[in-house]
Chains A and B, each alone.
Chain A
Amino acid sequence: MIFVIDSNVEMADCIVRACENNEVRIFHNAIEAMQGLSGELPELIFMDVMLTGPDGFSFLNELISYEDTSKVPVVVASALDLEKYNLDIYGVVGVLNKDTMKPEDVRKYVTKYAQ
């Protein structure tokens, strides 16, 4: 299963479409996504940083604070220029720039972590 966390509904849908046949749960804010972690853990998370309410880094801090969720790979898809920052400590395995990313960029991570 894959989590997609994005306050922009249409953008979240685009990422879901790129995930093709995988089971996907969509969350539009960090609080819903944190609650979602109490069920089955995802194999991969795609998330934006600028979210309605608590931001993506609040979610990442929560994620890495638990032993089990800290191992979930996260791909940040953001309009911010984050590619030059090292986000390894948050379990971030990749950064996608929303201005330039393509569906195949999403699929690359899906193939690697969720299939």
Chain B
Amino acid sequence: MEEEVNNILLVAAELKSPLATLRQMALSFDNLDSNNESLRDDMVVVSDRAIRQVNDLMKIGKLNERLFEMEPVAVRGVCDEVTRELQYLFHFNKRDLFIRYSNRARLVTANYELLKSIIYNYLLNAVYYTGDGVKSELVVKDIRDKVRVLVRDFGPALPVDVWREMKRGFVEKPTSIAMRPGTGGLGLYIASRFSRYMGAEIGAVRHRDGTSFYVDLTVSKQARLF
């Protein structure tokens, strides 16, 4: 298992440079008509996503070295940053995003970068699986002594075997068991590894018309200061 993961990380490291190069090459095209400009933008968006996932995979390799410091993190701030970064992608794919914050505890114990990656992956998933003009939802709320960040999409329901694995709290590896149509479940695998590192719990709720993915985060002891 560990060897398999190491191989994945090795491949990720090898892919990083070509992906960044392809992205630069796409950006180098000038004076395009609107059709080709749209194609160029597509290429940049796709490579941006791939680079991000490769970077996340490479972070998994560093988890064992405990390089990611746990600290009080303002969870709404992370959500704001991710949604700002992904705004163009929602717009580009004609998707809407509804955001609702109702958490009283503002600070959670987490690593900023890892939490950002989890939310980013959940929202990317929502962009991918929600149809044109349909809204996805990003919700931050209190669940007992935790803060839950939840992303609801309106796509195909999550296969029951994946749901069961997520209920157990951990996706073992990015194989077909973590699949919905058209994906290898890489985002869930990344979210799973990062949340385990932070002592957080991921999960999913199956709906008839989609899925809610969530991560439950421990409230920081400094929360009461704010």
Chain B residues positioned under 8 Å from A8 (CB to CB): 17, 21
Shortest Cβ distance from residue A99 to the other chain B in the assembled complex, whole angstroms:
5
The listed residue (A18, A79, A98) touching B28 by CB distance below 8 A is A18
**What is the CA–CA distance of A38 and B175 in the complex, to the nearest angstrom?**
54
Name B's interface SS. helix
B27-A14 in contact (CB<8A):
yes
The listed residue (B20, B48, B51, B55) touching A11 by CB distance below 8 A is B20
Shortest Cβ distance from residue A88 to the other chain B in the assembled complex, whole angstroms:
25
* With A79-B16, A99-B51 as contacts: A10 and B27 at CB distance below 8 Å: no
Chain B residues positioned under 8 Å from A15 (CB to CB): 24
B25-A79 in contact (CB<8A):
no
Chain B residues positioned under 8 Å from A103 (CB to CB): 27-28
B17-A17 in contact (CB<8A):
no
Chain A residues positioned under 8 Å from B16 (CB to CB): 79, 99
B21-A10 in contact (CB<8A):
yes
B21-A99 in contact (CB<8A):
no
* With A99-B51, A99-B55 as contacts: A10 and B20 at CB distance below 8 Å: no
**What is the CA–CA distance of A103 and B31 in the complex, to the nearest angstrom?**
14
Mask: chain A, 90-107; 1 = CB below 8 Å from B; 0 = not: 000000001111110000
**What is the CA–CA distance of A13 and B44 in the complex, to the nearest angstrom?**
18
**What is the CA–CA distance of A114 and B200 in the complex, to the nearest angstrom?**
50
* With A99-B51, A99-B55 as contacts: A79 and B27 at CB distance below 8 Å: no
Chain B residues positioned under 8 Å from A100 (CB to CB): 48
Chain A residues positioned under 8 Å from B20 (CB to CB): 11, 79, 98-99
**What is the CA–CA distance of A15 and B25 in the complex, to the nearest angstrom?**
10
Q: Which partner residue on chain B sits nearest A103 by CB separation?
A: B27
Shortest Cβ distance from residue B68 to the other chain A in the assembled complex, whole angstroms:
13
* With A102-B27, A103-B27, A103-B28 as contacts: A14 and B21 at CB distance below 8 Å: yes
Between-chain CB contacts (< 8 Å), 27 pairs:
A8-B17, A8-B21, A10-B21, A11-B17, A11-B20, A11-B24, A14-B21, A14-B24, A14-B25, A14-B27, A15-B24, A17-B28, A18-B28, A79-B16, A79-B17, A79-B20, A98-B20, A98-B24, A99-B16, A99-B20, A99-B23, A99-B51, A99-B55, A100-B48, A101-B24, A103-B27, A103-B28
Residues of chain B whose beta carbon lies under 8 Å from any beta carbon of chain A: 16-17, 20-21, 23-25, 27-28, 48, 51, 55
Residues of chain A whose beta carbon lies under 8 Å from any beta carbon of chain B: 8, 10-11, 14-15, 17-18, 79, 98-103
Besides A8-B17, A14-B21, A99-B55, 19 new A-B residue pairs in contact (Cβ under 8 A), listed by A number:
A10-B24, A10-B25, A11-B17, A11-B20, A11-B21, A14-B24, A14-B25, A14-B27, A14-B28, A15-B24, A18-B28, A79-B20, A98-B20, A98-B24, A99-B20, A99-B51, A100-B48, A101-B24, A102-B27
